[in-house]
Structure 1
Amino acid sequence: MCQLLGMNCNVPTDICFSFEGFATRGGKTDEHRDGWGIAFFEGKGCRLFLDSKPSIASPIAELVRCYPIRSTHVIAHIRKATQGKILLENCHPFRRQLWGQYWVFAHNGDLPAFAPQGMEFYRPVGDTDSEKAFCLILETLRQNFPKEKPSLEGIYPLLKDITNSIAEKGVFNYLLSDGEYFFAHCSTQLSYIVRQAPFAAAHLIDQDVTVDFRQLTKPSDRVAIIATTPLTDNELWTPIQPGDLLAFQDGLPLKLG
């Protein structure tokens, strides 16, 4: 299956270190060669980079590795196709607009024979189960809150309900964000780490690369990294329990229900 990478933090931060190890899994240290993508929220804007090439061989991925784009909400994905051809339109993350804001979604898993009904506004461009699930989530949110965006506490129960319904169809690990809210759902496998003071050095599993965050951060900084499997071998990662939907805010996980 695919792999996910997310970042949520209290100050704009670059994801170069984590992406260095993550992108290596797209064809070098792992088998996810069927495309990749990454989205960075910056204010109301959202930079989205996609490529159907493996991330290990993509010039666009090289740009992301070397260009320190700073953001408080980042979602990345490397693909091993289970449904849908290896085409650009099937690369995650997917992006749509709701309540005057961009929403971004990436999925790891498989939803066999998933065919949602009643899709009046959001329709998939590609032919993946993942994009269908994203469209169903947004369609449900729009139908229930047609005029304006609810609070985090207001949106969470509905998102949890639709997530549970989709998860009954198969494996449904995902990351979802609009640049203000950040959600992570674990169906089978997803972990996170919160980096905050006192900071220390971290060493990648997939590359012999070490970064000492004490030299790059302020004491008030806080960064949560979410990944399918841990990216470092000298830090303690926390597994998200199957069935849990976490909201991250300012680099901290919140379990609201």
Structure 2
Amino acid sequence: MCELLAMSANTPTDLCFSFTGLTRRGGDTGPHRDGWGVAFYEGKGVRAFHESGASASSRIAEVVQTHPIKSEVAVCHIRQANVGSVCLANTHPFIRELWGRYWTFAHNGQLKTFQPQSGFYEPVGSTDSEALFCDLLNQLRASDSREADLDTLVALLVARAADYARQGVCNLLLTNGDWLFTFCTTKMASITRRAPFGPARLKDADVTVDFEAETTPNDVVSVIVTEPLTTDERWDLYQPGEWRLWRLGEVIRRGRQSITD
């Protein structure tokens, strides 16, 4: 299975600490050596990096770890292939344009019975994850929800995510750069850091950071992952079927959906 990482913050923030922990699981402390990718939003623009090799030994990942790219929303993925070959086209996160925004998607799991509907969006690679993303966007596009209010849009996303989850494992991250939608089938955890900030130590690397020295008292930064990244912080575990919508570091909508037939 793959691992996910996302960030939602109320001020442009770098992902260096969390990204460092996650990349060690890509072929060093974990088996996810079949590609990695990360996308950072800068306004409506996206800065993205993808590679089909192991993140733990990647020089490109090393640059991302040490270069503080600041963003309010970021999505990252490390891959352990189960559907589709190991190649660049099959690395997450996947990005498409809809309604004048770039939408970014990453998925952990496998949908054994999933059959996507045909439509405007088509997968480039051969993963069920990208096919799922295209199917979701096609249904959004067909629903003519461009002018829909947020509650209507979220209700559609929750319904579709729950339907996918009934067909297999579907832990997913989806963002349009304004908000971040997260849905859990099996594993997901989050942490929200705010004043008073303290130190934190990574599980997978000998790295400790003092967030108080790196932040202001007004900062709110939330990190969402498959597995907790630190050893000395209390992470909030999602329940199966639980979804949360994040904006500027805070949960603004949440619920739990049945994912059994």
**TM-score bracket relative to the smaller structure:** over 0.9
Is the CA contact 1:156–1:256 (under 8 Å) kept in the aligned structure 2?
A: no
Q: Counterpart amino acid of 1:66?
A: T
- Aligned residue for 2:109, secondary structure, equals strand
Q: Counterpart amino acid of 2:125?
A: G
Matched, 1:183 2:181: yes
What is the CA RMSD across the aligned residues, in angstroms? 1.0
Instruction: Tell me the equivalent position of 1:220.
Output: 218
Instruction: Tell me the equivalent position of 1:85.
Output: 85
Count residues with an aligned counterpart. 255
Could you tell me how far 1:125 is from its partner in structure 2? 0.6
> 1:62, 1:210 → 2: CA distance?
17
> 1:193, 1:145 → 2: CA distance?
34
Could you tell me how far 1:45 is from its partner in structure 2? 0.5
- Aligned residue for 1:153, secondary structure, equals helix
Instruction: Tell me the equivalent position of 1:18.
Output: 18
**Which aligned pairs between 1:45-64 and structure 2 lie closer than 5 A?**
45-64=45-64
Instruction: Tell me the equivalent position of 1:173.
Output: 171
> 2:171, 2:254 → 1: CA distance?
18
> 2:147, 2:180 → 1: CA distance?
14
Consecutive aligned runs of 4 or more in structure 1 exceeding 4 Å deviation:
none
Instruction: Tell me the equivalent position of 1:122.
Output: 121
Could you give the per-residue CA deviations for residues 53-82 of structure 1, whole angstroms, max 9, x where no partner exists? 100111211110111000000000000001
1:149–1:13 CA distance, 2 compared to 1 (3 A): farther
Identity of aligned residues (%): 49
Q: Which moves more between the two structures, 183-192 or 149-158?
A: 149-158
Gaps of 5+ in 1: none
Gaps of 5+ in 2: 256-261
Q: Which moves more between the two structures, 103-112 or 148-157?
A: 148-157
Instruction: Tell me the equivalent position of 1:136.
Output: 135
Could you give the per-residue CA deviations for residues 63-122 of structure 1, whole angstroms, max 9, x where no partner exists? 1011100000000000000100001000000000000000000000111142212x2201
Is the CA contact 2:188–2:238 (under 8 Å) kept in the aligned structure 1?
A: yes
Could you give the per-residue CA deviations for residues 186-230 of structure 1, whole angstroms, max 9, x where no partner exists? 000000000001100000000111100111111110000000000
> 2:113, 2:246 → 1: CA distance?
31
Q: Counterpart amino acid of 1:73?
A: V
Could you give the per-residue CA deviations for residues 134-153 of structure 1, whole angstroms, max 9, x where no partner exists? 0111111111125x243321
> 1:167, 1:43 → 2: CA distance?
31
Q: Counterpart amino acid of 2:38?
A: I
Instruction: Tell me the equivalent position of 1:157.
Output: 155
TM-score, length of structure 2 as denominator length = 0.95
Q: Counterpart amino acid of 1:155?
A: L
Instruction: Tell me the equivalent position of 2:258.
Output: none
Is the CA contact 1:152–1:181 (under 8 Å) kept in the aligned structure 2?
A: no
Instruction: Tell me the equivalent position of 1:30.
Output: 30
> 2:169, 2:147 → 1: CA distance?
28
Matched, 1:94 2:94: yes
- Aligned residue for 1:235, secondary structure, equals coil
Is the CA contact 2:113–2:168 (under 8 Å) kept in the aligned structure 1?
A: no
> 1:3, 1:149 → 2: CA distance?
33
- Aligned residue for 1:183, secondary structure, equals strand
Q: Which moves more between the two structures, 83-92 or 104-113?
A: 104-113
Is the CA contact 2:35–2:52 (under 8 Å) kept in the aligned structure 1?
A: yes
Q: Which moves more between the two structures, 105-114 or 14-23?
A: 105-114
